[in-house]
Amino acid sequence: MRVRGWIYIMTNQAMPGLVKVGYSLKDPNLRAQEMNHTGTPHPYVVEYEELVEQPRDKEQLVHRNLNEFREGKEWFRCSVKYARSVIRQIIGDHMLLANEPTQLPKTEATTEPHAGSVLAAAAPVPKPRPVGTYRGVCWYCGNELLVTLNPSDTEVRCPECFRTNDVSGFVQRELFI
């Protein structure tokens, strides 16, 4: 059976220099909200997320590739940029959807000083989005959004907090039914 889920990178200001690389079958922003109730003084922030098939297997591959930076369980002492490049290298063209708050240039070279290696990470070229109903989560208030989008739509306003959200990470209704 094919399972779809998210591989994500989270950070927390209380743990500088550490990134959490994990997977979830639900929206990573909801996972971050759950983790915010664990007693940390600062909120968890989802820095990057990719919708993939077989997320647990892919997460395990990413963990093995980041093993030299492991601090414990799913926590690694490396930059978000480096962890993202490892994820992109492993997932490649098998990514269903990616979402990150700030978009990167089409190509970037990532060097981790203590890793001694250079990885090239190429952002996927976005495909035209079909007209349809999409689901996403407001980056600001966590409100779940269900919206109808056209191929040219790039943003949507949250009816709860009235802030504008990038729709590049929204999932088409057929993907989450």
User: Are residues 25 and 55 in contact, defined by beta-carbon separation less than 8 angstroms?
Assistant: yes
| pLDDT for 129 | 67
pTM: 0.56
Residues 6+ apart with CB under 8 A from 150: 129, 131
- Weakly modelled stretches of the chain, pLDDT under 50: 102-126, 175-177
pLDDT tens track for 36-65: 877 788 999 999 998 888 889 999 999 999
Distance between CA 28 and CA 36 in Å, rounded? 12
174 token code pair: 């057929």
| Type of residue at 51 | L
Q: Could you tell me the maximum CA-CA distance found in the chain, to the nearest angstrom?
A: 47
What is the distance between the alpha carbons of residues 5 and 170, in angstroms, rounded to a whole number? 13
Report pLDDT for 95: 59
Using only C-alpha atoms, what is the Rg of the chain? 16
Q: What is the pLDDT of residue 35?
A: 86
